[in-house]
Structure 1
């Protein structure tokens, strides 16, 4: 009976060892500390051989007073012996696998995106983290001209038609502008892309900050404003007509008349007063004896009976 008890205990310990190993010996290549790793218990059946105490009827003889049985009576007692049988045992084991929305990728549980992230990476189930300059659910849409950065979430600050870098947000200025927002025109004397070109305008003409075209000062004309207005014209863009008389010269800027000798007045329409001659009638005649003085040259025209320069 003692041997039978020891054998039963040994088989029971072996069974529990199998169960314990099934609980602890489950391995996975995934890092068990991965926050995206989920675990659950699952059951399974195994066929085991188990021992049990099998009863049987044991017959033996003992002395008795029955003369008919020759003083030898038959007796019965129940005894037990170790027996074996096959049985099904339900086991439990812990199973670890990536949580829903994740898949096993080496030693980590990586998120899964149904749509592939074209210009970005999958950071959560069906969630793309776009690279700067790209947006949309799967990062396939380039930022428009007014937005930049990841998911095109930043608004451009550029002005005056400048282009916005979709990655950094830096402004690429149009011709004729400068500044971090392209809010400033080129400094006087420069124009074009990056304000790198030098103006060629003359005579205090203004240079267009974008094209470099010269805006002539009043009285000048030509591609670089290097020429005076033509005769008879003056003022801005040489569009005003001169009003001078008697072949007076008109100033190309102001239109002021420069009178020829012998003429005076704002429009040079008046002859010099008697006794004066020359430019602006600034000289006095030197003629004597009633000689007439030429208003232009001052030459004396002698009266009857007189001769000589004066």
Structure 2
């Protein structure tokens, strides 16, 4: 009876020690409710469930007898307590999360799913530049960051007149404008040639000094000379110059010389002198 009691006592003591070890190890690994089996007296195998730590990819160490072993694809951590995944290729800007699988650090993205290299990410884009760090874009030569959006915009040495800078030192005309041969200047396009005027904006003519718009012109591209005061019995043929109608001559008594009188009236006035 005594040996039997001693054997039971030893088993009880061993079980308590094992439970204590498992309890203590729960401080390092999460405690769980999976069943632990004690098989044999000296060569027992304590199988701890293989729960993965979702944050690090580490795995609980599996003890077998007096030795310790990790599953395939894992290796023992330097602390001797955990199994960590192994990646054949070095993880760049990332860490080994599962065997041969790298997970990017915050602010980095993979070029493709199975890549071991993670590149810095610029969520707002980095056109005409290089994303050198998370959310850090460095513009290419000839470009400068926008004060409003941070995007890289081209630089033009000279101001783009009636256009915008679309490449370094290259202007592109606004709609309704065209190049004149000078890369920095765009001029408006008028479908119809301006008569006695200048095309100052797309399909809009501005009259030259001494001219006014011809209100009878449906295309609004013709300017006619302006005479002030208006011609009497004549036509304004140039700014301030009246041409008398047929049978009329200029009345020299008017300084403005805008009044034309009938030739018969002139003859009669001369005869009365």
Q: TM-score range by the shorter chain?
A: 0.3 to 0.5
Larger radius of gyration: 1
Bigger RCO of structures 1 and 2 (CA < 8 A, at least 6 apart): 1
Higher strand share: 1
Q: TM-score, normalised by structure 2?
A: 0.38
